[in-house]
Structure 1
Amino acid sequence: MLKGENIYLSKIEKEDMKYIYKWFSDTEFLKYYDYIPPISQSKREVDKIFNDYEKSEESEVFAMKLIKSNEIIGIAGYDDIEKENKVATLFIGIGNKNIRGKGYGKESLNLLLTYGFKVIKLHRIQLNVLEFNINAISLYEKTGFKKEGIFREFVLRDNKRYDLYLYGLLKNEWK
């Protein structure tokens, strides 16, 4: 378990899944969460995604929970962990709409960075973010991530093309 001031990151429990099912059926959440099309996912599809995460040695996924209430507010973790290269791709998704904008994403990001650089000894942490996700971009840049690339017109949302940005942070750049 990774513990901050207001939240902690822990293993996803069976009782957390009812919230995750809800978030993965919410196209507005999915629109910002990933670059794949924001199509509502069935319970079976979500179970497959999270079972694959659990079996994979290249992923670590955590429930983001409030310390005061133990309420799950989102998910966070790493995809594509390349142990030989000491590189991984970070992701955060706050599913509870009422909790957004309160600093929990920042706290989760800092917990993930500490875990990535100090515990699993990564050299580089990277992430992908859609150009219209202004709040996330601001958070990543304030944390020290550098924009390293642009996948031009990579994503189609509402019949409009958007760029996908690649950000990276090296261990020696981390504050």
Structure 2
Amino acid sequence: MSTLQGEHIYLRALEPDDLDFVYRLENDTDLWEVSQTQTPYSLFLIKNYLENAHKDIYEAKQLRLAICKQESFESIGLIDLFDFDPKNQRAGIGIVIQNQDNRNSGYGKEALELLLAYAKDYLHVHQLFANIAVHNSPSIALFTSFGFQLIGVKKEWIYNQGIYTDEAMYQLLF
């Protein structure tokens, strides 16, 4: 079995054909709180991003992979390593599953398991961190199930629709 292939999903590099999928995800206002986005992304910007997605993680300092179902090859989400710091062997990690039908189905857990193994075994990171809004119970449960530990809370860190929300930082040491 491939490093980035699980039982039900696989992770793959972004392709030019992912333009519409990434555009929809990036412009889904329900996800903006998670991604810290405040303005829509144009097709032009997404297209330019995809044209540069081939850059090595050591150059771009990030890696974004599509989460795809094995049986249908359908893209259902994205999983990212960001703020990659090879000197200190750490990176941030984030995941988003596109629609409610695909959430709570084990796809996110499988994707996270695959990317954790890749980060540890191929990128040789020593630690990963995840920033999660304190009210995002499903994400907190997902990350803590892999051993991520709460290391701090940023008070009133996220401002969304007139409300301040705390953001927790979770860390995993390998």
Answer whether TM exceeds 0.5 for this pair: yes
Match of 1:19?
21
Match of 1:115?
118
Match of 1:94?
97
Secondary structure of the structure 2 residue equivalent to 1:18:
helix
Query: What TM-score results when the alignment is normalised by the length of structure 1?
Result: 0.89
AA of the residue aligned to 1:35: Q
How many Å separate the matches in 2 of 1:168 and 1:43? Answer: 34
Q: Where do 5+ consecutive residues of structure 1 fail to align?
A: none
Question: Does residue 151 in structure 1 map to residue 154 in structure 2?
Answer: yes
Secondary structure of the structure 2 residue equivalent to 1:69:
coil
Once the two structures are superposed, the pairs formed by residues 9-158 of structure 1 within 5 Å of their partners are: 9-32=11-34, 34-37=35-38, 39-50=39-50, 54-55=54-55, 56-158=59-161
C-alpha RMSD over aligned residues: 1.7
Q: Where do 5+ consecutive residues of structure 2 fail to align?
A: none
Alpha-carbon deviation of 1:49?
A: 4.6
Alpha-carbon deviation of 1:164?
A: 1.1
Alpha carbons 2:14, 2:53 under 8 Å: kept: no
Secondary structure of the structure 1 residue equivalent to 2:60:
coil
Query: What TM-score results when the alignment is normalised by the length of structure 2?
Result: 0.89
AA of the residue aligned to 1:14: P
Report percent identity of matched pairs. 28
How many Å separate the matches in 1 of 2:165 and 2:47? Answer: 29
AA of the residue aligned to 2:141: S
How many Å separate the matches in 2 of 1:4 and 1:58? Answer: 25
Would you say how many aligned residue pairs link Structure 1 and Structure 2?
169
Task: List structure 1 segments (4+ residues) > 6 angstroms apart after TM superposition.
Answer: none
How many Å separate the matches in 1 of 2:114 and 2:48? Answer: 26
Question: Does residue 167 in structure 1 map to residue 170 in structure 2?
Answer: yes
